[in-house]
A and B are shown apart, each in its own frame.
Chain A
Amino acid sequence: MVKLGVKDLAISYGNETILEGVNFDIQEHEIFGIIGPANAGKTSFLKAVNRMDLFNTDMQVDGDITFNGVNVQKVRNVYGLRRRIGVVFPLPVGLPLSIYDNVALAPRLAGQKDRAELDVIVERCLTRAALWDEVKDRLNSLGSMLSGGQQQRLTIARALSQDPELLMLDEFSIAVDPVTTMRIEDVLKELRDELTIILVTNLVQQARRLADRTAFFLGGRCVEVGVTEDLFTGEVKDTRTRDYVDGRFG
């Protein structure tokens, strides 16, 4: 089943087009990697998916993005859409609330008031984000006071607490140490059974480890979409893809 359909997508800021000609379908229970150098339009793509374009009046999105077959540009209640899509930003944003409240925020927004239920959700999400053991004794201290790596795992826990159908990770490992990165990667592999994941990453090896299929964005174009292993074994339509994954530029 197609979870997210992208057809003739073009994104521009003012007169400057920063991404165009994007066409692919992301299947349910798939980890879909997006690789590419800086300014390739990767983050803008994620913003278009959960309608974060509304923050920036300059940002113009053309073409169709469908989530469960529904065109996201025509959704009336964007809050309802966003609640089903979890996002992890590159730089961790621990909200200035307690660790507990950070993770309980999304369930509370969705109307969950039962403390026992919330306790279960908070523990489960923090455990999955590989943070529970470090914070279980101080759930009431401020989330914004955690270290950078811990905050990043907190944002992952927060995204999971939404119980999303689609999880979008934007270079989540920038602020996380390698050991923790591997732990989170293991969790992502497990999560594939429950949800669909879009993994934007600068680390091509991370895409190789995790993604079933990978798209290569370059200079505002989607140059290549294919089975991840093909991209790394040279089965590519565009030679620039091979050059990039081999580390010859970018």
Chain B
Amino acid sequence: MSEKMAQTAAGAGSDFDRLTLDWYIDKLVQALVFIGGISAIVFIIGIFVFISREGFGFLLGEFNFKEFFFSPNWRPTSETKETFGILALVAGTASVTGLAMLIAIPFSLGAAIFIAEFASGKTREFLKITVELLAAIPSVVWGFIGLAIMNPIIIETFDVPVGLNVLNAGVILGLMAAPIMTSIAEDALNAVPDPYREAAEAMGATRWQVIYKVVLPAAKNGLLGAVLLGVGRGFGETMAVLMATGHSINIPTSVFDSVRALTATIAAELGETAAGSPHYQALFTIGIFLFVITFIINLAADLVVRGVKKG
């Protein structure tokens, strides 16, 4: 009897040491997922190293901090004296992004609230699909709309000589960013559990009171994420702003001034510079600058979200 029990125990023990196919598959999947996870970090570091290396020569040589950030003169191909001031380009990008957000934030939040809280059934499905379709329109098509449709409309409506300006690009960029912001904001609103809504409505809160007092506070992290994603999109968008801003170096004093964006400058000029020349390296320095700005926006978002969670 006792011998038999000992045997069974030994048999069970050896079973624990045998590595089955399931065990190997588990390890393999873990390894693959790990590679997928760290690849994002590797790529980010790789991109940063690459653009830094290309722009490094400029940073050590011709780079003049004061000129680069505070001079509105971007004259990289001047015969007499080359100047690399990005102030006007920063102003161009910032003004277009700012106007775009003024348009996109109310539109996208309104659309998200309508889809998530009011629309139901077929209306809701139809709107969701439409919004996703809008988000998939290539930026060059938006640029074309700015160039071919918005341009004459602005010239005629406001009686200005040129319709390619901050207003045009801001509207185009706002419309471009709104669908993706709507999508993210709607996800954030959907993530708010229904019992919250029911509890508040059971207390006699009206639909708007439920949204304003309960749903929006509960979803504020996700909504903030949506807005910051829109800002990131505004900073990074290239083709549409290249086509709709007028692409002329200017510190805008009104929405009817043409401007030039940081990204559009890189896109338009990089192909025509000699690799390794100061101009080429200066464009990469702009790249580093954009990279740092994006990093700061994301970091700020992260910190804000964490702060919100703690509170």
Interface residues, chain A, with chain B CB atoms under 8 Å away: 50, 52, 55, 57, 79-84, 86-87, 89, 91, 93, 95-97, 105-106, 108-110, 142, 155, 158-159, 162
B306 at the interface (CB under 8 A from A): no
CB distance from A83 to the nearest CB of B (A): 3
CA distance A95 to B192 in the complex (A): 10
CB distance from A111 to the nearest CB of B (A): 12
Q: Which residues of B sit under 8 angstroms from A106, Cβ to Cβ?
A: 203-204
CB distance from A172 to the nearest CB of B (A): 14
B29 at the interface (CB under 8 A from A): no
State whether A91 touches B195 (Cβ < 8 A).
Answer: yes
CB distance from A158 to the nearest CB of B (A): 7
Given known A93-B195, A93-B196, A93-B199, contact A79–B217 (CB-CB < 8 A): no
Could you list 5 A-B pairs, sorted by A, with CB under 8 Å? A79-B206, A93-B193, A95-B199, A97-B214, A106-B204
B75 at the interface (CB under 8 A from A): no
Q: Which of B120, B204, B205, B217 contacts A97 (CB 8 A)?
A: B217
Given known A109-B204, A162-B204, contact A55–B198 (CB-CB < 8 A): yes
State whether A89 touches B199 (Cβ < 8 A).
Answer: yes
B27 at the interface (CB under 8 A from A): no
Q: Which residues of A sit under 8 angstroms from B156, Cβ to Cβ?
A: none
B255-278 Cβ-contact flags toward A at 8 Å (1 or 0): 000000000000000000000000
Given known A79-B204, A109-B205, A109-B209, contact A96–B199 (CB-CB < 8 A): no
Q: Which residues of B sit under 8 angstroms from A96, Cβ to Cβ?
A: 196, 214, 217-218
State whether B203 touches A83 (Cβ < 8 A).
Answer: yes
CA distance A93 to B196 in the complex (A): 7
State whether A50 touches B200 (Cβ < 8 A).
Answer: no
Given known A89-B195, A105-B213, A109-B209, contact A95–B200 (CB-CB < 8 A): yes
Q: Which residues of B sit under 8 angstroms from A105, Cβ to Cβ?
A: 200, 203, 205, 213
B125 at the interface (CB under 8 A from A): no
Q: Which residues of B sit under 8 angstroms from A80, Cβ to Cβ?
A: 204
CA distance A96 to B219 in the complex (A): 10
Apart from A95-B200, A159-B203, 5 more pairs, CB < 8 Å: A57-B120, A86-B203, A96-B217, A105-B203, A106-B204
B82 at the interface (CB under 8 A from A): no
> Could you say which of B193, B199, B217, B311 has the most chain A C-beta atoms within 10 Å of its C-beta?
B199
State whether B218 touches A52 (Cβ < 8 A).
Answer: no
Q: Which residues of A sit under 8 angstroms from B195, Cβ to Cβ?
A: 89, 91, 93
Q: Which residues of A sit under 8 angstroms from B199, Cβ to Cβ?
A: 89, 93, 95, 155, 158
- Considering the complex, which residues of chain B in the window 208-255 have a beta carbon less than 8 Å from any beta carbon of chain A? 209, 213-214, 217-218
Q: Which residues of A sit under 8 angstroms from B205, Cβ to Cβ?
A: 79, 105, 109
B132 at the interface (CB under 8 A from A): no
B207's closest neighbor in chain A, by CB? Answer: A79
B41-56 Cβ-contact flags toward A at 8 Å (1 or 0): 0000000000000000
CA distance A7 to B311 in the complex (A): 49
State whether A95 touches B196 (Cβ < 8 A).
Answer: yes
CA distance A84 to B204 in the complex (A): 8
CA distance A81 to B204 in the complex (A): 7
B201 at the interface (CB under 8 A from A): yes
Q: Which residues of A sit under 8 angstroms from B218, Cβ to Cβ?
A: 95-96
CA distance A41 to B305 in the complex (A): 43
CB distance from A197 to the nearest CB of B (A): 16
CA distance A159 to B193 in the complex (A): 19
> Could you say which of B193, B200, B202, B204 has the most chain A C-beta atoms within 10 Å of its C-beta?
B202
Q: Which of B193, B198, B214 contacts A52 (CB 8 A)?
A: B198
- Considering the complex, which residues of chain B in the window 163-218 have a beta carbon less than 8 Å from any beta carbon of chain A? 193, 195-196, 198-206, 209, 213-214, 217-218
CA distance A79 to B203 in the complex (A): 8
B197's closest neighbor in chain A, by CB? Answer: A55
Q: Which residues of A sit under 8 angstroms from B120, Cβ to Cβ?
A: 57
CB distance from A80 to the nearest CB of B (A): 7
CB distance from A236 to the nearest CB of B (A): 33
Given known A96-B217, A96-B218, contact A109–B203 (CB-CB < 8 A): yes
State whether A55 touches B201 (Cβ < 8 A).
Answer: yes
Q: Which residues of A sit under 8 angstroms from B217, Cβ to Cβ?
A: 96-97
State whether B196 touches A82 (Cβ < 8 A).
Answer: no
